[in-house]
């Protein structure tokens, strides 16, 4: 890691228009930032995402850095903020899969009768998002319709409708794939 004075100089250059200074700043502080984020998140992929977000936020807040102070406490404070914001966002957001095709789905029940789980995942990815969420939450994760309705802020009957229509769409998609 470059020494503190060098980092201050690099950050001053980055503020004043030398974009290339970013590479050296990144090389110097990305490892300790990632270590810190890993110690908080305990997940390598998550730590990488948070580190990237930290650099993005550092970029947006670069005008707040005062080069008469060390760079690391400033960067660490932003990393900590990014981590806390992420944790807060997750705690407030109802559970929803980002990418169903990448999920290790505990496929059971009706879906088990299909030979290829990959096909189910692919088909599920094509189902209307609101219906897909209802299908996953009810048939795969075991939530009741009442719980699903509460999470989505809809009526229980609407949750049932979404799930049944989602299943119908999924069946049709799988039938179509099977027929090919």
Partner 1 sequence: MTTAPAELRARLAADYRPVRALPSPWARALWILPFALVALVAAPVAFTVRPGAASLGWIGVWGFSIAQTLLGVLVVGAALRESIPGRDWSRTAIGLWIALPLLAVVALTLYSWETSPVTLLRGFWMVGGLCFAGSAATALPVVALASILAARAYPTRPAVAGAMLGLGAGLMADAGWRIFCHFSEPAHVLSAHLAAVIMSTIIGAIAVRAYRKNTLSMNQ
**What own/partner pairs with CB < 8 Å and gap ≥ 24 does 76-85 have?**
76/33, 76/36, 78/54, 79/33, 79/36, 79/37, 79/50, 79/51, 79/54, 80/36, 81/57, 82/37, 82/50, 82/53, 82/54, 82/57, 83/37, 83/40, 83/41, 83/50
Q: How far is the CB of 174 from partner 1 (least distance, A)?
A: 35
Question: Which is closer to partner 1, CB of 102 or CB of 118?
Answer: 102
Q: Which of 5, 43, 77, 95 binds partner 1 (CB under 8 A)?
A: 77
Contact predicate 24/35, CB 8 Å: no
User: Quick check: 30 binds partner 1 (CB under 8 A)?
Assistant: yes
Q: How far is the CB of 20 from partner 1 (least distance, A)?
A: 10
Percent helix, strand, coil in the chain (nearest 5)?
A: 75, 0, 25
Contact predicate 163/135, CB 8 Å: yes
Two structure tokens written together for 24: 């050296």
Q: How far is the CB of 124 from partner 1 (least distance, A)?
A: 27
Q: Which of 9, 38, 67, 160 binds partner 1 (CB under 8 A)?
A: 67
Q: What angle do CA 60, 63, 64 make, to 5 degrees?
A: 100
Q: Which of 78, 100, 123, 149 binds partner 1 (CB under 8 A)?
A: 78
Q: Which of 46, 81, 160, 165 binds partner 1 (CB under 8 A)?
A: 81
User: Quick check: 87 binds partner 1 (CB under 8 A)?
Assistant: no
User: Quick check: 66 binds partner 1 (CB under 8 A)?
Assistant: yes
Q: Which residues, 113 to 172, sit near partner 1 by CB under 8 A?
A: none
Q: Which of 5, 43, 44, 56 binds partner 1 (CB under 8 A)?
A: 56
Which residues are near partner 1 by CB under 8 A? 12, 15-17, 19, 22-23, 26-27, 30-31, 52, 55-57, 59-67, 69, 73-78, 80-81
């Amino acid at each position: 890691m470059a020494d503190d004075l060098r980092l201050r100089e690099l950050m001053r250059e980055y503020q004043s228009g030398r974009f290339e200074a970013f590479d050296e700043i990144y090389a110097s502080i990305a490892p300790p930032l990632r270590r810190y984020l890993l110690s908080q998140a305990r997940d390598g992929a998550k730590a990488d995402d948070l580190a990237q977000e930290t650099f993005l936020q550092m970029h947006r807040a670069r005008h707040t850095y005062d080069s008469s102070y060390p760079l690391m406490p400033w960067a660490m404070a932003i990393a900590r903020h990014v981590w806390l914001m992420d944790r807060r966002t997750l705690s407030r957001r109802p559970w929803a899969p980002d990418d169903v095709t990448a999920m290790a789905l505990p496929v059971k029940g009706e879906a088990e009768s299909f030979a290829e789980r990959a096909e189910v995942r692919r088909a599920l990815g094509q189902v209307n998002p609101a219906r897909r969420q209802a299908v996953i939450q009810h048939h795969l994760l075991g939530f009741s319709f009442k719980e699903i309705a509460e999470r989505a802020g809809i009526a229980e009957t609407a949750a049932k409708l979404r799930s049944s229509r989602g299943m119908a769409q999924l069946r049709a998609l799988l039938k179509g794939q099977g027929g090919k």
